Structure 1
Amino acid sequence: MKSLIVSLCFLSTIVSAQTDSISNNIKSKLNHHALNPVHSILLYIENEDKQFIYNEGLGLEKANGKAVTKHSAFKIASSTKLFVSTIILQLQEEGKLSISDKVFPYVEDIEDLNFKNFHNLDSVKYAKDITIKQLLSHRSGLADIFTDKEDAFFALVMKNPNKQYDTTSIIQLYYQFHLNQTPHFKPNEAWHYSDINYVLLGLIIQQIDKITLAQSIRKRIIDPLQMENTFFEFYETPNKQVSQINQYLGQTNFSNINTSFDWAGGGLVSTNADLAIFIKALFNYKLINKSSLDQMIDVKFTKTDELRYGLGVYEFYINNNVYYGHFGFYNTFIGYCPKTKTTLSYSISQATPSFNAYTFISQLLNYVDQ
């Protein structure tokens, strides 16, 4: 008994030291007065085998704001794609679609979409050749509003930062920027990350489920998993009041901007604890079966400057361990390492911090892996 007590005390000391080291490293990166301020960092690390959990929020919601906590919520941005991909694979399991299906039959009746003219390359129309799988894996060739027309898009947003977008106005932007005339390649010839792929997937979900995408995500994922602090921002009213941090691109506070244009490509708000519930449910086959998950994480090479990508999921190496998950615009991430049974979720609150986020997170995980 004495030896057991000594062992437990020793383990407790180790865990306390790990926790303190992680917190101190996070505090060293907070800077409320920098050109690219980092007002808060929220971090969740759980290693099931080692029975280690770190879940903390440090810093302020904004400059001179109130302190964040581990319960603080944040825009998860493109990590929303994991949710959309999961629903598409659920629909496949239900026999309502196949990811090898062509997109056209699912969306041809949507007003204002004009899908047959959605992908015109060298005067040839390729839209009808695009498959659902190519949308999931960003291999459709479709251009992206946010990256291919970045300057024009953000100028438009800043001109009217309170504008409420919907699917019609998002598609209107796509045509306004003539992106249907400037795809990057024929379907399935290469890889190009484009949120428009996920806009189309969101439309497919709505066509099949006969409810809004926000309602589908809630019905299929949020409510069954009791993710009480997660909601589709600007498209539904949250079930409870959540304290939400401010998130930045340089000095620009995107929490003062209506980001409803993100929709299926990045519209969810959540907490680290809720995201941990989601990613563990995904990898424990509570949302989709093993065959579907295997399809999701069957990653392929992309471009020389990009990580390998599957169906709405990146493959991400940290300290020689493989994580599967997704990044978000404001330096957010949710992922899972099957080998070590480690869940990782974080928000750095700044899209362009002065430090390398990958190196920083790797250093924090060193305290758990050692």
Structure 2
Amino acid sequence: MTKQRHALRGALTLAVAAGVAVSALTGTGTAQARGTASGPGGADRARLSQLLHRLTTVDGGPGALLHLRDRRGDTVLTSGVADVNSRAPVPRDSSFRIGSMTKPFVATVVLQLVGEHRVSLDAPVERYLPGVVRGEGNDGRNITVRQLLQHTSGLSDYLSHLNPQDILKDPLAHHDTRDLVGIALAHPPTFAPGTGWHYSNTNYLLAGMLIEKVTRNTWNEEVRRRIITPLGLRATSAPADDPAIPGPHPRGYVRPGPDAPLMDLTAFNPSVAGSAGAMISSGGDVDRFLDALVDGRLLRRAQLQEMMRTRPTGDSGGRAYGLGLESRPLPCGGLYWGHGGDVFGYETVGGATVNGSQATVMVNVDPGGTDAQSDDMRTAVQTALCHGRSALAGLRPPGSGVTED
């Protein structure tokens, strides 16, 4: 989502100049580790502490949270502030917008429908959404469901053609999914279906429309019925137009550039993200979802294997993309599975290993200051997964402002 973050900054600068209310950020960086973790000391534990501290100092985030879960329990690390005006700390049970972390939820529902023989992965999109994908060389008769979920359809990303300033002028406005898809279809495909890989949020708007056509329920209702309720994810929701974030949560901020002041955009209508990125969750809930997913409790074996059948993305870090789920190599060996997400005000990265460890990191600014934020978030997740709860013990490197209780 880095390209989108750069695209947002120019429009945000104009909005700030036009008089949108902003707040200054000063003096963040105090971190607290909460939990009962214990274990040997080491450079890796210090590294994780430094990364959380870095997210709220050098990287410019107001606040950050890391939730680590393994077979021995949960540990939470927070840094910085939830509100730049009140200076309140980040609640350890924070809810936040998870952006494209919504995609694994949506892909899971589609794959459940595949397991129920109601959808075929290799059927054309036209079978389920007749006449919808048309124009400028785009043709749903030549694009499969699998290609939507794996970003190999070649469809243009509607966000690349959407002016963020229009959203800022009226952040509570409703955005119709068909209209958003139409923005993408007014542009030619990036490549012929199946011949390349290009991350496109348009794919997942169409996946949500497919769910609705097959089930006759909204994608939000199906995610709630099939995933949120069975797993008891109390902090997770799939809102349609509700601009509020329920429960304890940090404020969400945007910053047009590294030296620009912050703008509070906690409340906005998530319909502009829809089934590509509208969901709300918490660190603990994301971890529980990823655990259930990779452990095979949400999908039948055949569909989970399809989800984990990845293709390279060209990323230098070894990122490979399956069906709404991506893998990355761990520095300690092996792979982890997860996704990232950014949406106005929040960035999230979550990952899980097949042996029962999960970690999720949240920062309450997006667009942020630099791309280093995303890199440091991924590194924190990888460090946590490699070293488990022992990575969070003894978090007191000199001068970091980190405390443990």
Q: TM-score, normalised by structure 2?
A: 0.75
Q: Secondary structure at the match of 1:332?
A: strand
Report how many aligned residue pairs link the two structures: 337
Residues 58 and 69 in structure 1, CA contact (< 8 A), matched pair in contact too: no
The question of 1:54 aligning with 2:72 is answered no
* Superimposed CA distance per residue, residues 4-33 of structure 1 (whole angstroms, 9 cap, x where no aligned partner): xxxxxxx946389987874565235324xx
Residues 78 and 327 in structure 1, CA contact (< 8 A), matched pair in contact too: yes
Cα displacement (A) at 1:63? 0.8
1:26 matched residue in structure 2: 52
Distance 1:133 1:232 in 2: 23
Q: Which consecutive residues of structure 2, in runs of 5 or more, have no partner in the other structure?
A: 1-36, 256-261, 392-405
Name whichever structure is richer in helix by fraction: 1
Q: Which consecutive residues of structure 1, in runs of 5 or more, have no partner in the other structure?
A: 1-10, 109-113
Q: Percent identity?
A: 24
The question of 1:348 aligning with 2:363 is answered yes
Cα displacement (A) at 1:220? 0.5
The question of 1:190 aligning with 2:182 is answered no
Cα displacement (A) at 1:359? 4.3
* Superimposed CA distance per residue, residues 53-102 of structure 1 (whole angstroms, 9 cap, x where no aligned partner): 42233332221233222211111100100001100110011111111111
Distance 2:253 2:61 in 1: 8
2:132 matched residue in structure 1: 115
Which of residues 40, 50, 67 is equivalent to 2:63?
A: 40
- RMSD in angstroms over aligned alpha carbons? 2.9
1:4 matched residue in structure 2: none
2:250 corresponds to which letter in structure 1? I
Alignment of 1:287-326 (within 5 A): 287-304=298-315, 307-319=319-331, 320-326=333-339
Which of residues 347, 353, 356 is equivalent to 1:331?
A: 347
The question of 1:94 aligning with 2:116 is answered yes
* Superimposed CA distance per residue, residues 261-318 of structure 1 (whole angstroms, 9 cap, x where no aligned partner): 1010001000011111111111221110222111111110123568211101111223
Distance 1:77 1:304 in 2: 20
Task: Evaluate the alpha carbon distance shift between residue 100 and residue 172 of structure 1 in structure 2; reply closer, same or farther with a 3 A threshold.
Answer: closer
Residues 214 and 235 in structure 1, CA contact (< 8 A), matched pair in contact too: no
Cα displacement (A) at 1:186? 1.2
Task: Evaluate the alpha carbon distance shift between residue 337 and residue 29 of structure 1 in structure 2; reply closer, same or farther with a 3 A threshold.
Answer: same
Cα displacement (A) at 1:174? 3.5
1:7 matched residue in structure 2: none
Q: Secondary structure at the match of 1:232?
A: coil
1:163 corresponds to which letter in structure 2? A
Task: Evaluate the alpha carbon distance shift between residue 190 and residue 29 of structure 1 in structure 2; reply closer, same or farther with a 3 A threshold.
Answer: closer
Q: Secondary structure at the match of 2:77?
A: strand
2:85 corresponds to which letter in structure 1? N
2:320 corresponds to which letter in structure 1? R
Q: Secondary structure at the match of 2:358?
A: strand
Q: Taking CA–CA contacts closer than 8 Å with sequence separation of 6 or more, which of the two structures ends up with the larger relative contact order?
A: 2
